[in-house]
Amino acid sequence: MSLPLVLDCDPGTDDALALFLALGSPELDVLAITVAGGNVGLDRTLPNARALVGLTKRAVPVFGGADRPLLGAFTSETRVHGIDGLGGIALPEGPAAEADHAADAIRRIVRSAREPVTLVGIAPATNLALALMTEPGIAGNIKQIVLMSGAWAEGNATPAAEFNAVSDPEALAVVLACGRPIVLATLEIAAQALCTKAHLAAMAASGTGACLRAACAIQGTVPFGRRLGGAGAALYDPVAVAWLVRPDLFSTQEAYVTMDLGPGPCRGRTVIDRWGRTPHAPNATVLTSIDAAGFFGLLTERFNRLP
Residues forming contacts to Ca ion in the complex (CB under 5 A) are 10, 12, 15, 122-123, 237
> Residues 3, 7, 15, 129: which binds ligand RIB (CB under 6 A)?
15
Q: Which residue is nearest to ligand RIB (CB)?
A: 163
**Which of the ranges 29-37, 48-56, 67-75, 157-165 carries the binding residues for ligand RIB, by CB under 6 A?**
157-165
Does residue 236 interact with ligand RIB by CB under 6 A?
yes
Question: Would you give the binding string for ligand RIB spanning residues 96-125, x where CB under 6 A is met?
Answer: --------------------------xx--
Phi/psi-derived region of residue 229, left when phi > 0, alpha when psi is between -120 and 50, beta in every other case = left
Which CB sits closer to Ca ion, 56 or 156? 156
Q: Which is nearer to ligand RIB, 104 or 188 (CB)?
A: 188
Q: Which does 166 bind (CB under 5 to 8 A by kind): ligand RIB, Ca ion, none?
A: none
* Residue 273: Cβ within 10 Å count: 18
- Map residues 45-84 to x or -, x wherever contact with ligand RIB holds by CB under 6 A: ----------------------------------------
Per rule CB under 6 A, is residue 172 in the interface with ligand RIB? no
Q: How far apart are CA 295 and CA 254, in angstroms?
A: 22
- Is 8 a binder of ligand RIB (CB under 6 A)? no
Stretch that binds ligand RIB, among 23-31, 101-109, 139-147, 160-168 (CB under 6 A): 160-168
Single residue of 12, 37, 69, 87 touching ligand RIB by CB under 6 A: 12
Residue window 131-150: x/- pattern of binding to ligand RIB, with contact defined by CB under 6 A: -----------------x--
CB of 38 to ligand RIB, least distance (A): 5
- Please spell the DSSP secondary structure of the chain, one letter per residue: -PEEEEEEE---HHHHHHHHHHHT-TTEEEEEEEE-SSSS-HHHHHHHHHHHHHHHT----EEE--SS-SSS-----HHHH-SSSSTT------PPPBSS-HHHHHHHHHHH-SSPEEEEE-S-THHHHHHHHH-GGGGGGEEEEEEE---SS--SSSSS--HHHHHSHHHHHHHHTSSS-EEEE-HHHHHTS-B-HHHHHHHHTT---HHHHHHHHHHTTS---GGGTTS-B--HHHHHHHHHH-GGGEEEEEEEEEE--SSSTTTT-EEEETT--SSSPP-EEEEEEE-HHHHHHHHHHHHTT--
Q: Which of 104, 168, 237, 260 binds ligand RIB (CB under 6 A)?
A: 237
Q: Which residues of this chain interact with ligand RIB, rule CB under 6 A?
A: 10, 12, 14-15, 38-39, 122-123, 148, 156, 162-164, 236-237
